[in-house]
Chain A
Amino acid sequence: MVTGSAVPLADVQRLVLAGPGRPAHQVTYALLEVVDAPAARRRLASMLDESPGHRWRLSCSDLRAETVNGERTYLSTSLGLTAHGLAALGVSDDELATFPFEFKQGPHARCGFLGDIGVNAPDHWLEHFTAQSLHRLHVVISVWEPADHTAGDEMLDDLARTDSGMTTLTSFKGHRRRGGREPFGFRDGMGNPRIAGVERPAHARPLPGEEVALGEFVLGHESQFGDRLRSWRVPGAAKRPEDRLGMNGSFAALRVMRQDVDLFRRWMEHNGELAAQLLCGVTFDGDELFPNGVGGAGTAALDHGVDPICVLGSHVARANPQHNLVSRVHHRRRIIRRGMPYEWSEEEGLIGLFICANLGAQYEGVLGDWMNNAVHDPRLTGTSDPLVGYQGRDSSRQFVITRGVSYLFLPGRAGLQRIVT
C-alpha cells in the first residue's frame, strides 16, 4: 500500500505513484480524437464516477481507495491529454497559455536534439504520430491489467459502440514477457524512484537510490531544489495553484520504440555477450556489470579488459549519471518509466510512458543533453547512447528506432473534473 500524509494520493493517477501493480502484465493504449466536445467531456467525466463496479474509473495512487469488496482491483486506467486534446475539449486559450511551451510545441518541433532524426525522424513515424495527423491525436487512455483479463478489449469495444464523442484512431497492446525481459533480453525494471513521503509496503523490495522530491513528478509540490526554487508551475489560470486544472497532474512522453532484435543478436554474436551488456550498462539480469562500481572509474572494468569509458557511456549510466559534472547543479532529471514490450506482426519493441513534472528539463534533458549528445561529460561529448540513441550513418548499430512520440498531460482527478465541466 502506498501511504503518505502530505501526498494527495487519492488525486494523483495510480500509474504515476503506485504504478500499475505487479499483476499488470498487459496494457492497451487507445489513441482517440475528440469529434464531439460535449459528449467527450461527458465521457471523460464518467471516469470520475466513484460508484463501485464502475469499469473505466481513472485509477488513483491511493490503493486503499482502489479496492472493491475488500479486494484490490487489478485494473488500472490512466488518462493522458495532448495540447491539441485540451484545446479540442474546450479548454480556453487563457488556460492553455499557462502550459509549458515544450508541451504545446510537441515532439515534432523538438526532434532534432532528441535524436529523432534520420531513421528516427517524425516523417517515418506510425501514421497517427506524423505531422499530418498530429492535430487529431487528442486523448490517450491506457488500461493496465493481468495477462488473462480482457478489460482493454472491452474498453475498445465500448468506445466503438457507444457515443463517446471520440473516435478511436488506433490502439496498441503491450505484454509483459517471460521473466520480465524486454525484447533484447534485458530484465526490464520499471523506473520507480523512491519518492519522499510515499511509503512502500513493508513486504515490497526497497527501491535503490536516493529519495526524490514529489514535485519532480507531481505538479504543485516541492521539487528537488526545495526552497531555493519553487516547484514547477502548476498550469491553469486560477490564482491559487490548488484551484488550477494542473494541480496534482504530471506530464509524460508516450514513446513507441521499435527494437531490431535480429540486428542486436547478430551484433552480439559478432562482438560477444559482454559487449552487448556493456551497451546497456547492466547484465541481462539487470545487475551491475562491475559491482565495484562505475564511480570507482571502472577499475573492475579494467580487470576485464574493458575501457572504463564504455561503462560511463552505457545506456544506464547516461540515463542516470552519477555526477552531472558540467553544471555544478546536481540536476538529477529523474523520470518515472512505465514501459511494456509490444509484439505486432511485423515488429517488436517497447511502448513507454516517461513521466515527469517538466518535459523540457527532465525528459528532454535526459534524452537530449545526456543520451544523444552527452554534454554532461567531456569524455563522452559528441557520442550518443549506444543502445537506444541515434547512431548517425552507422545503421549497423541502430538497434532502436523511434516509431512515434506524443507529449501528454496526465491530470489529477480534481484537474480532470475542471477540464470536463
Chain B
Amino acid sequence: MIAGDGEGASAASNRCDWRDLPSLQSPTVVVQRVMNLVMPIKRDDADGADDSTTPVSPQTKARLVIAMSAERDAIATAMDNLGAVHFARFNIVGDDLHFQAVYDGTAEGYVHDFVVHLGAVFDVIMSFIADWPPPAYRAEHARGRSVSVRDHPAEFVEWVLRHDIPQLPRDVSGLLRTELNRGAAGGPAMQGLLFNALVDRFSRSGNAHLSMHRGYPGRTVAQIRDALDVGW
C-alpha cells in the first residue's frame, strides 16, 4: 500500500491485468466443458532434483502410478458422486501428468466439489507434482509440512485453472475481435492482426486447446443418466 504514494490511479490500474486467466465470456461453455490439466511431475533426488532438463525417471513415474492405483476405488467413487463428470482420465505424457475431463457446470463450483470428494486423493497426487503448493506455502512445505488441497480450496481452484490448457475461441476471429476491443490498432491487414494476436497468445501461454467434437451437444451427465434410467 506504500507503493501508492505519488502514483497516479492510471499507473496503479495497469497492475490489474489478470487476462492470463481463463475467461468465461462465451455463453456456450457451461455444459460439457473441457478440462485439460497439465501437471508437471516432480523430479525426485535420483532424477537430479531441480534440473528441469533431465527427463523424469521411469522410477518416479512408476511410483506415481502405484500411488494412484492405490486410490483407484476412491477416484471412481468420487467421480460417480460428483455427478457432473462425463469422462475423466489420467495420462502421463512426457514429464507431465495430464488430467483430462469433460464436465458440466463452472470450473469453480466443480473444482470445489472435487476438493470435497477427492481432496485426499489429490493430496497423494500433488505430492508428485512439481509446482504445488503455490509460492506462499513453499517454505511451510519445505519444512516437511504437506500443504493439503483441502486446507486451501481457493488456491487449489486457481492452481487448477492456471494449469488447464486454455481453449482458443472456437471462431479464431473471436480472438481477433477481443484484441481489437483491447485497443489494438485497426487497419486493412486483418490476417496480419490475427497472426499477431495468435503469436501474442502463444507467447503468453504455449499450450492451447483447439476444439472438441460433441456427439450429443448441450446434454448434461444428469440428463443422460436420467434418460437411460441409470440414476442421477
Contact = CB atoms under 8 A, between A and B. Distances in A.
Contacts of B152: 230, 233
Given A360-B106, A375-B31, A331 B9 contact: no
A230 B1 contact: no
A101 B116 contact: no
Nearest to B23: A109
Interface in A86-110: 87-93, 95-96, 98, 100-102, 104-105, 108-110
Nearest to A372: B30
Interface stretch (B37-45, B57-65, B125-133, B222-230): B222-230
A418 to B, nearest CB: 8
Given A102-B108, A110-B24, A90 B5 contact: yes
B3 to A, nearest CB: 5
A91 B12 CA distance: 9
B65 to A, nearest CB: 28
A95 B122 CA distance: 27
Contacts of B30: 113, 368-369, 373, 375
Contacts of A325: 83, 222, 232
Interface string A202-232: 0000000000000000000000010011101
A112 B232 contact: no
B155 A136 contact: no
Interface stretch (A35-43, A59-67, A152-160, A286-294): A35-43
Given A331-B113, A378-B220, A109 B106 contact: no
Contact of A326 (B10, B84, B150): B84
A99 to B, nearest CB: 10
A328 interface: yes
Contacts of A112: 24-29
Given A104-B18, A331-B109, A375-B31, 17 more contacts: A37-B5, A89-B4, A109-B25, A111-B25, A136-B9, A233-B153, A325-B83, A326-B105, A326-B220, A326-B222, A331-B112, A360-B106, A364-B106, A365-B108, A368-B30, A369-B109, A378-B222
B73 interface: no
Contacts of B181: 131
B210 to A, nearest CB: 19
Interface of A: 33-35, 37-38, 41, 83-84, 87-93, 95-96, 98, 100-102, 104-105, 108-114, 117, 131, 135-136, 138, 225, 228-230, 232-233, 237, 325-329, 331, 358, 360-361, 364-365, 368-369, 373, 375-379, 381-382, 418-421
Contacts of B7: 37, 90
Contact of A84 (B13, B155, B220): B13
Contact of B15 (A93, A114, A131): A93
A421 B9 contact: no
Contacts of B56: none
Interface string B190-232: 0000000000000000000000000000111111011100001
A225 B24 contact: no
Given A95-B1, A229-B119, A378-B232, A104 B16 contact: yes
A113 B32 CA distance: 13
- Closest 3 pairs between A and B when the two form their complex, measured CB to CB: A90-B4, A360-B108, A37-B4
B108 A375 contact: no
B15 A87 contact: yes
B66 interface: no
A265 to B, nearest CB: 29
Nearest to A245: B1
B176 interface: no
A381 B222 contact: yes
A179 B118 CA distance: 48
Given A111-B25, A378-B222, A84 B108 contact: no
Interface string B107-147: 01100110111010000000000000000100000000000
A90 B158 CA distance: 24
Contacts of A228: 116, 119, 150
